[in-house]
Amino acid sequence: MHMKVEQPKKHHRFANFENGPRLIFWELTEGCNLKCIHCRATAQPERSPDEMSTEKAFQVIDEIADFANPLLILTGGEPLYRPDFFEIAEYATQKGLSVAMASNGTLITEDIAKKIKEAGIKRVAISFDGPSSNIHDQFRGLDGSFEKALQGARNVKNQGVQLQFNTTITSHNVDYLEDMIDLSKQYGVDALHLFMLVPVGCGVQIVESNMLSSTKYEEVLEWFYERSREVDFEIRATCAPHYYRIMRQKAKEKGERITVQSHGMAAVTKGCLAGTSVCFISHKGDVRPCGYLPLKAGSVIEQEFSDIWKDSTLFQQLRNPELIEGKCGQCEYIQVCSGCRARAFYETGNFLSEEPYCNYIPNQV
């Protein structure tokens, strides 16, 4: 049974929890054809017997659609590993939800791309770990996966479905980010999202060798501030909450105002959205703040989705910036940043402790 935590006096500026999440990431399966070395899900070649049934998935969609109007991002593992993937996507579309998917791209043949379009999927995000087969295939654990993913991207594009590239920044690819922008341009993407590595799943094993130092992250995010305003597609730093601090510092230095016109959607959102605007549903129905924070807010197998979203102690804690500890708790940027709760959890076992990969010393400390 969940204990109720007293509601925070000072809510996050960017979220209205009553209306439900804005984004739901749903890991339909842990099954996957690749063996990526940074995989969040520690993806398996076989599907798990714990996976939710098709009927249960429909019921969860009903519950979500009755309560909220989020973008539903179907993910995995590799979501196309589920034979009922298109049934689920189509059902969600019919229920009025906006549906997107995140894939490794290698299984998206012309025929599958057509089905993606027919199921009403609005955007396909394909993960690239670098702009060449050398870097990408080594990460993905399968020779030829880069070429296959590019073919998948072309097939998506040919169907007129929006295309996004996702790249997790590590020491292996940090020197190739300009090339990643070029590749994105060449493929006419609608968006490029650059993720900051979170030590979860297989990512834990590569932290020592692949995680950038906090100083290097700071440099990358400063570079990102300049580049994000020069390209003509959406480019976003994801799971790098302190980017929202850097964005404000940079704008102040230059005497710029932060508006949607000048800074895109980054102007109206905040760093970590876990539990405030975003949540994650695992393949067996566990609801978590995000895919990288392995803490359970509830289970859609046992509870209504809306009850978990509104009442879970974990979500209520994440919605109260006054509970965040260490220097993040003292920081004047807490409302726009929050620090990554998953990296804090990995480092200390306490998801409310300070973000370990931010160099900033708050004025109030």
Which residues sit at the interface with ligand SF4, rule CB under 6 A?
198, 239, 241-242, 245, 272-274, 278, 290, 292-293, 327-328, 331, 333-334, 337, 339-342, 354-355, 358, 360, 362
Q: Which residue has the tokens 């006419």?
A: 188
Beta bridge partners of 193: 166, 236
Please, what is the minimum distance in Å from the beta carbon of residue 352 to ligand SF4?
11
Distance CA 81, CA 28 (A): 9
Please, what is the minimum distance in Å from the beta carbon of residue 333 to ligand SF4?
4
Helical spans, DSSP H, in 119-259: 133-140, 145-158, 177-186, 203-210, 214-228, 243-254
Q: Provide the edge-to-edge strand list for the sheet that holds 298-299.
A: 234-238, 191-196, 162-169, 123-127, 98-103, 71-75, 23-27, 278-281, 286-288, 298-299
User: Would you say 47 or 341 has its CB closer to ligand SF4?
Assistant: 341
User: Would you say 87 or 347 has its CB closer to ligand SF4?
Assistant: 347
Please, what is the minimum distance in Å from the beta carbon of residue 170 to ligand SF4?
15
Please, what is the minimum distance in Å from the beta carbon of residue 308 to ligand SF4?
17
Distance CA 156, CA 344 (A): 37
Distance CA 145, CA 80 (A): 15
> CA torsion angle for 115, 31, 68, 59 (degrees, to 10)?
90
Please, what is the minimum distance in Å from the beta carbon of residue 238 to ligand SF4?
7
User: Would you say 151 or 249 has its CB closer to ligand SF4?
Assistant: 249
Please, what is the minimum distance in Å from the beta carbon of residue 198 to ligand SF4?
5
Distance CA 220, CA 175 (A): 10
User: Would you say 47 or 343 has its CB closer to ligand SF4?
Assistant: 343
User: Would you say 309 or 360 has its CB closer to ligand SF4?
Assistant: 360
Please, what is the minimum distance in Å from the beta carbon of residue 234 to ligand SF4?
18
User: Would you say 8 or 120 has its CB closer to ligand SF4?
Assistant: 8
314-317: which pairs have CB atoms within 8 A and are 24 or more residues apart? Answer: 314/275, 314/289, 315/17, 315/275, 315/279, 315/289, 316/4, 316/5, 316/7, 316/8, 317/5, 317/275, 317/352
Cα angle 133, 138, 144; round to 5: 45
Please, what is the minimum distance in Å from the beta carbon of residue 284 to ligand SF4?
19
User: Would you say 165 or 360 has its CB closer to ligand SF4?
Assistant: 360
Confirm if 23 and 277 have CB atoms less than 8 A apart: yes
User: Would you say 118 or 268 has its CB closer to ligand SF4?
Assistant: 268
